[in-house]
Amino acid sequence: MSRRTGLLLGLAVLALPAHADSASTDARDAWWARLQALCGQAFQGTLVRAPADDTTFRDRRAVMHVRECSAERVRIPLVIDEDRSRTWVFMRDADTGAIGFRHDHRHADGSPEPMTMYGGWTPNRGSADTQLFPADDLTAAAIPGSGQRSVWLVEIHPGERFVYAANRVGTERGFQVDFDLTAPVQAPSAPWGWDGD
């Protein structure tokens, strides 16, 4: 099965009933535990798919650093070459167990970029491997005129790979970057807007 096919099958999880890994474990808890297990480590990514005209990741070094973790929030700077403007933010809702995902974008002086904090919340339990984040109203406000809705997919396969994928529903526009969990790399400097290294 190709990775593209795997991504499309993953997106189909939206239509599946929520389920857990076992009778006593919510799949979101299992996925969150996998994310927490990466705390403090950094990994290099490989571009799997991107629009032909987009150079965000193409021929550039991408490193994710699981830099800050708590029971309620995990922040992962994504450094592209020397660009330290991006941080992924994952959150847990204590009442519902839902997981939120935001893209925090900063200028070099630490101030927010105009397009920032977009993302969404899990619509169901997903699986221990995969969680989906359909775009929410905050995203519509952050990206005016974006037209088709976006959805993000994040997979965690312990000891293998971490997958970040983004799709614009109803179009061919999409990204996928796979990070190699078998070979941790040196952590990059702090992202823009963070204190200290």
Which residue segments constitute the domains of the chain, with CATH numbers given? 3-180 (2.40.128)
- The pLDDT tens digits of the residues spanning 109-168 come to 999 999 999 999 999 999 999 999 999 988 888 776 565 588 999 999 999 999 999 988
Q: What is the pLDDT of residue 27?
A: 95
Both tokens of 53, joined, read 């005209």
Q: What is the mean pLDDT of residues 49-69?
A: 92
Record the tokens describing residue 62, joined without a space.
């991408």
Which pLDDT band holds residue 5 (cuts at 50, 70, 90)?
A: very low
* % pLDDT > 70, the chain: 83
3-state secondary structure of 137: helix
H or E element, residue 134: strand 130-134
Per DSSP, the residues of 50-110 read: --TT--SSTTS-EEEE--EE-SSEEEEEEEETTEEEEEEEEEE-TTT--EEEEEEEB-TTS
Of 169 and 21, the structure prediction assigns the larger pLDDT to 169
